[in-house]
Amino acid sequence: MIYISEEESAALVTDELAFEAAREALIAAASPQSRIFPAVLGRTREPTNTFSIKSGSADHLTGVKIGSFWKDNPARGLPRHNSTIVLLDPHTGRLGAVIEAGKVNAYRTAAADAVAADSLARKGAKVLAMFGAGNQAGFEVTALARIRPIATVLIVAQPSVLRDAFVEHIRERGLEARAVSAEEAVRAADIVVTATPSREPLFQADWVGPGTHVASMGSDAPGKHELPDELFQKARLFCDLLSQSVQIGEFQHVRDEIDAGVLAVTPIGDVIDKRAPGRRFDDEITVFDSSGISLQDLYMADALISAKAANR
């Protein structure tokens, strides 16, 4: 049995590793040979302590990811978000690997958005509107700046020491960064990313200009809602996994329209694998719902195991 600790996985993971693993996972998710099962959402006696279990299988990989959010962990000197990936031996069902992957999960989530943006965002996209200034936001900026010439990051978050520190962190990396209103950010953006726990839309649909790419990654449970539903009527829609997106992702709010065929949603894996078109025109608006799928975790685990073996 292979074990990789949090410290070891954090040292092994890179943006390049995460991007390739996420890309393979999203292609696999669109394949009929893969299996992804409904996410199980739970909580402890303390309602703010939540966890999710996501499972699936593809190629030679079978397993689960357990993600947790413990609100009061910072007071204990621990991160709020944690993640553990368990791989099963596909031949015997016995335990194959256990990987602590808290930091890896942030790379994996950002990488999925970057993979989608590589097919959907305009090649010359320079202005990124980032909703949220928490742990995930920095990873999103890094991942997107690898695949597009991002020069300016417009940050939308409540005034706080955390927000101001995030603005300064982005500036230290050589990018222009400032905190602005939601309307200013969206109207100026080439790419909009929402990384919040919001339960109501963060901006108005008519603020989104032609050619903008929008990605929601905060909607990963029933009731979460970051994007205005009106936006979907004038955009081309993409997702990581439709069956999950309409249950816990952003498209849960327009499930009836999707079921009725009024709105069409394309799995991003079909775009990556050239079975469906990505961006077709410069003025096209695209939306990607990144609900976060188990195969991303399994492929990340496999890539980390290979990286560990290569470092021996």
Secondary element (H or E) of residue 241: none
CA distance 199 to 126: 29
CA distance 101 to 262: 39
CA distance 87 to 283: 43
Active site residue 65: yes
Contact predicate 104/113, CB 8 Å? no
Q: Residue 201 — left, alpha, or beta (φ > 0 → left; ψ -120 to 50 → alpha)?
A: beta
- State the catalytic residue, choosing from 54, 65, 103, 224: 65
Contact predicate 60/90, CB 8 Å? yes
Give the dihedral sign, CA 123/147/150/226. Answer: positive
Provide the annotated active-site residues: 65
